[in-house]
Amino acid sequence: MKKIIALLLAACLVFALCACGSSAPAPAADSQPAASSGSSSSEPAPAAEKFVVGICQLVQHPALDSATQGFIDALTEELGDAVEFDSQNASGDITTCATICNGFVASKADLIMANATPALQAAAAATDTIPVLGTSITEYGVALDLKDFNGTVGGNISGTSDLAPLDQQAQMIIDLFPEAKNVAILYCSAEANSVYQADVVEAYLEGKGLNVDRLTFADSNDVALVTQTACASADVLYIPTDNVAASCAEAIGNVAEPAGIPIITGEVNVCKVCGVATLSIDYYNLGLTTGRMAAKILKGEADISAMPIEYFENPVKMFNPELAAKFGVDIPSDFEAIEE
């Protein structure tokens, strides 16, 4: 029995010794963990910075559509998938512009692009911190009621202007219709920049001895009636870069053309529908410029408060071949034909 007990004790001793030999040595009390050779594969890579850009466009028509597309294309080229667009159209309603811009502020958009004057005014009222870039704005000083505007808005606003030389547009009326004595200017009374253009063109034409009537419509509902009134007494109509007129260009043409009254327009897309000639900018390229400005702001390469308004440098004289022929207008050789 004693032998059996001795054998059992010996076996237990051997087992204990083996167990101790297989365990890892405890680290010394003052030892430090080994330095990592790199970030752990289990740690997520830092997320790329994402930007949300809100676009408020006043109304759908070719000029504003082109500016918005140019803006999106330029910003996408610069930032790729890092930018997300929230593009909304106010369908010509100024109150809706305010609702859209306030929504962008509530959702903390990184930048707002305001396409057309009422959209810019709504964005300016909605925020003084989020960067706001306007496009298709004729005169920022007028749109924002700025005193002594020097070309830079300051604060959180900048952008691009669609202003073409108004004196040259007015001179087209004299050059192309030398027999004309009475000119009617058609525009929307709610658009501050249309009022500005009408002021400049009226002063120029009256300075050349022509009679000028200004006829305004409040919205699209009375465009046809106002055009009919204008055609009753005018030899030529002039339409500035007015958003309501642009969205109703076909309705205007349906009245003026049968009445035999030609139209000079402030931009090419309206001229394409109902005008004889225009001195116009390229709205797509205007949008491209606006998008590149936005990229600089979002990448931290420019301070919007110091960015001057940018202008389209080379407006082009263009004509509508069909209507020019119909009205018997002799178009000078420096005009480009508007393509169908």
Euclidean distance between CA atoms 223 and 243, whole angstroms: 12
Q: Please tell me the CATH code under which domain 51-162+282-308 is placed.
A: 3.40.50.2300
What pLDDT, in 10s, does the model give residues 34-46?
A: 333 333 334 444 4
The CATH H-level superfamily of 166-280+316-337 is Response regulator (3.40.50.2300)
List, in sequence order, the alpha helices (H) in the chain.
2-22, 62-79, 94-106, 117-126, 140-143, 166-176, 192-207, 223-231, 243-247, 249-259, 268-274, 283-298, 321-326
Residue pair 94/116 in contact by the 8 Å Cβ criterion = no
**Same fold flag, 51-162+282-308 and 166-280+316-337:** yes
- Taking the alpha carbons at both ends of the chain, their separation in whole angstroms is 117
Q: In the structure, how many helices (H) and strands (E) does the chain have?
A: 13, 13
User: What's the whole-number mean pLDDT along residues 186-211?
Assistant: 96
Other beta carbons within 10 angstroms of residue 228's beta carbon come to 14
Output helix, strand, coil percentages for the chain, rounded to the nearest 5. Answer: 45, 20, 35
Q: Report pLDDT for 37.
A: 36
Tokens of 209: 């001895």
Contact 169, 319 (CB under 8 A): no
**CB 51: neighbour CB atoms within 10 A?**
18
Cα three-residue angle 148-150-154, rounded to 5 degrees: 100
For residue 2, pLDDT over 70 is answered with no
The answer, yes or no, to whether residue 27 has pLDDT greater than 80, is: no
Would the pLDDT of 7 be above 90?
no
pLDDT of residue 48: 60
Q: What span, in angstroms and rounded, lies between the C-alpha atoms of 114 and 133?
A: 6
pLDDT of residue 13: 41
At 241, list the tokens: 């870069």
Q: Rounded to 5 degrees, what are φ and ψ at 77?
A: -60, -35
The whole-number average pLDDT for the span 141-161 is 96
Can you give the pLDDT at residue 26? Answer: 40
Tokens of 174: 């004299």
Q: Kindly state the tokens that stand for 319.
A: 């004509």
Closest CA to 88 of 76, 100, 99: 100
Identity of the amino acid at 110 = D
Residues 6 or more apart whose CB falls under 8 angstroms from that of 318 comprise 268, 271, 277, 278, 279, 280, 335, 336, 337, 338
**What is the chain's mean pLDDT, rounded?**
89
Question: Over the stretch 220-268, which tens digit does the pLDDT of each residue have?
Answer: 999 999 999 999 999 999 999 999 999 999 999 999 999 999 999 999 9
Provide the residue ranges of all domains of the chain, joining segments of one domain with +: 51-162+282-308, 166-280+316-337
Tokens for 307, please give them: 């960015």
Radius of gyration in angstroms for the set of CA atoms belonging to the chain, rounded to a whole number? 34
Distance, CA of 117 to CA of 162 (rounded, Å): 11
